[in-house]
Chain A
Amino acid sequence: MSENRKFKNPLSLQIDPKLFEKATEEEKAQQVTMRESVSFMQDAMRRLRRNHIAMISLGIIVVIMLIAFIVPNFYPYTYTKQDVTAQNLAPFQYSAKEQAKIDKGFKVFPHIMGTDALGRDYAIRVIYGTRISLLVGIFSALIVIVIGIIYGSISGYFGGKVDMVMMRIVDIIYSLPDVLIVILLSVAIKDWVSTSNSPLIARLGAGMVSIFIVFGLLYWVSMARQVRGQILSIKQQEYVLASKAIGASPARIIRKHMIPNCVSVIIIIAAMQIPSAIFTESFLSFLGLGVSIPMPSLGSLASDARTGLRSYPYQLIFPALSIFLIVLSFNLLGNGLRDAFDPKLRS
């Protein structure tokens, strides 16, 4: 091209046809993007993966979950089976009966964490307790996510008077002392739960049912506030206006445009909610308002361990360590998620 130009009069209006030739393969290759475009989600996940503490926490959570949900299926002991000859054994200690069996050449599975005052294998009870804690955490987070998103997005989307009324309600709920109300409810529904015909409710116990009720009634407010704030800012975006212009319904706009943009806020708050629910459940169980016996929970195990604290301190240490590990891992993962999804919030 440049060679031809040399001979052309610079003032000539004659069009050089070569400028309109099809691009060669080589030229096309230059236009291909070298890097794949990275979505917000991928970017956040990459940041998360680089955060070692968060990844280790995630690993610990996965391991604990696997143990809690898989091990009970093939563990040789159950959490209800009592053995009066094997009370308060130390970890890896065998009762006289079991020792005799071993001497005869039978194999006896060791009590990894010993046994409790009723001769129940402690390891499986701690595993069950962990399972309860995890279930409470996860279900509470789900309740909070669902209600918080629906409430927050309606309030933020419609704005104006609707928003004002809905947010006043949130303000009031926010200032209610939540733990007191959980306790009150679990006291009140204790009778109802113990006489309930539904096996599920009877098994869950007053504490669990009231935790779920209270999470459904009270705990979603911070999620709703955050989602509303996010929606308010997304509402100003052009693509929402465009969507409205082509006649999309509010439900569709909320579902397709707004909620996907709130994902980061939702993930962060959900991750923070899980440890707080686990805390509340163990607190209630410790007060005797949690799961119904013989179902163990980490709180009730720690509470039971108090009677023999001087002689059998490990009965406190194992459930305490379990709660500590779970809550610590979720806290650290939550921090990691916050840093990954919302770099502005990093402290």
Chain B
Amino acid sequence: MNDKFLTYLLKRFLMALLTIFLVVAITFFVMHAIPASPFSSEKAKSDAVIAALEAKYGFDKPVPIQFLNYLWNILHFDFGLSTGWVGNTVIDLIIGGFSYSARIGLTAGMIALFFGVILGSIAALQRGKALDKVIQVLTTALVAMPSFVLATILLLVFALQLGWLPSMGNQPGGLILPIISLSLYPMAYVTRLQRSSMLDVLGQDYIRTARAKGVKNSKVIFKHALKNTLTPVITYAGPMMAYILTGSMVVENIFSVPGLGRLFTNSMLRTDYMMIMGVTIFLATIIILMNFIADILYKVVDPRVDLS
């Protein structure tokens, strides 16, 4: 069992590394397929200036060499220099933005998981009753709402109309609305997952056995059922992180949070290619690693899962 698990871990890890490498390669070659040089679009510059800039950023070498250089550099966490925010390295900008995005994203993720599991379990236990129906209707509606619509509506209602919460991310309490806008969709999704998983587990024989032995209802649910309902939720953790990180691009723009998502959309406006590449690779790596962790956790939590 242990040997098998280690092999699986290693295999899965190599797979994640391969995927990250692919993302780097795709990002690099897609960005280098653009005919325009990142400097030609800016205000009139002489050819000599452009050539000097290209030499400075290493764009004058053949593309395969550039790729190997780039690969070597990012292995040392060197994503190059930003051309949109002159004087900054890409990695510094990314770390600066990520400190905001991570805070928002992690809190949103926690809220989504916590309330999703609770609401889903309640819905399952109250199956067919009014509360279950209310939860079902709400989650169905939330899953059909894009993050930017939700965020703009929250901004309109709670910041502009009611004035309860600030509309800008840098004000005190300003991260509350972005966190809520990012957590509602995954929360609704987790609720639905948890509901069906709970219903599934409650129908199992060992639950009936526990009840037949006269175990208290609360103990049946918390000790016997809940643990076994969590596996589908764990597998969703990876896609959820992907949703939250990409969703933060619009949400951070709407609430003016100086996070990674806003940095990314701004670097698109400034055609800062090094920045676009850096952020894409950075976000992709996080998403892929999250998927890897979720996969491993899934096997740890549920030893019945076949490893082959």
A75 within 8 A of B: no
Count residues on chain B whose CB falls below 8 Å from chain A CBs: 47
Q: Is A204 part of the binding interface, using a Cβ–Cβ cutoff of 8 Å?
A: no
Contact with A along B121-145 (1 / 0, CB 8 A): 0000000000000000000110111
Q: Cβ of A6 < 8 Å from any Cβ of B?
A: no
Are the CB atoms of B242 and A179 closer together than 8 Å? yes
Contact yes or no, A172 B149, CB < 8 A = no
* Chain A residues near B152 (CB-CB < 8 A): 302, 305-306, 309, 316, 320
Complex: A58 Cα to B288 Cα, angstroms = 37
> Is there an interface contact between A331 and B143, defined as CB atoms closer than 8 Å?
yes
Of A289, A320, A327, chain B has the most CB atoms within 10 Å of the CB of: A320
Say yes or no: A347 contacts B199, CB within 8 Å. Answer: yes
Closest residue of chain B to A347 (Cβ to Cβ) is: B196
B278-292 vs A: 1/0 string, CB under 8 Å? 001001100110010
Task: Report how far A219 CA is from B55 CA in the complex, Å.
Answer: 39
The answer to whether B148 and A303 have CB atoms under 8 Å apart is yes
How near does chain A come to B174, taking the closest CB pair, in angstroms?
17
**Given A175-B19, A188-B31, A309 and B155 touching (CB < 8 A)?**
yes
Q: Is B107 an interface residue (CB 8 A)?
A: no
Contact flags B186-214 to A (C-beta < 8 A → 1, else 0): 00000000001001000000000000000
Please name the residue on chain A nearest to B200 by beta carbon.
Answer: A347
Nearest CB in chain A to that of B250: its residue: A286
Given A179-B246, A185-B30, A188-B30, decide whether A324 and B283 contact each other with a Cβ distance below 8 A.
no
B6 close to chain A: CB less than 8 A:
no
Q: Does B104 sit within 8 A of A, measured CB to CB? A: no
A172 touches B18 (CB 8 A): yes
A-contacting 9-mer, from B20-28, B56-64, B73-81, B91-99: B20-28
B250 touches A177 (CB 8 A): no
Judged by a CB distance under 8 angstroms, whether B162 is at the interface is no
Instruction: Flag whether A275 is at the interface (Cβ < 8 A).
Output: yes
Do A328 and B141 touch across chains, with their CB atoms under 8 A apart? yes
Q: Which B29-83 residues have a C-beta within 8 angstroms of A?
A: 30-31, 33-36
Given contacts A175-B16, A299-B148, A323-B149, contact A313 B246 (CB under 8 A): no
In B229-275, which residues have CB < 8 Å from any A CB?
242, 246, 249-250, 253-254, 264-265, 268-269
Any chain A CB within 8 A of the CB of B15? yes
Q: Looking across the interface, which residue of chain B has its beta carbon closest to that of A325?
A: B144
CA gap between A324 and B15 in the complex, in Å? 37
Q: Flag if A187 contacts B19 (CB, 8 Å).
A: no
> Which of B144, B254, B276 contacts A187, CB < 8 Å?
B276
A180 touches B254 (CB 8 A): no
CA of A286 to CA of B268, assembled, Å: 13
Pick the 4 closest A-B CB pairs, nearest first.
Answer: A328-B144, A347-B196, A327-B144, A179-B246
Besides A191-B36, A192-B34, 7 other CB < 8 A contacts?
Answer: A177-B283, A181-B23, A185-B30, A283-B146, A288-B265, A299-B146, A306-B152
Contact sample, A vs B, 9 pairs, CB 8 Å cutoff: A171-B15, A172-B15, A180-B280, A183-B249, A184-B31, A289-B268, A316-B153, A324-B145, A332-B140
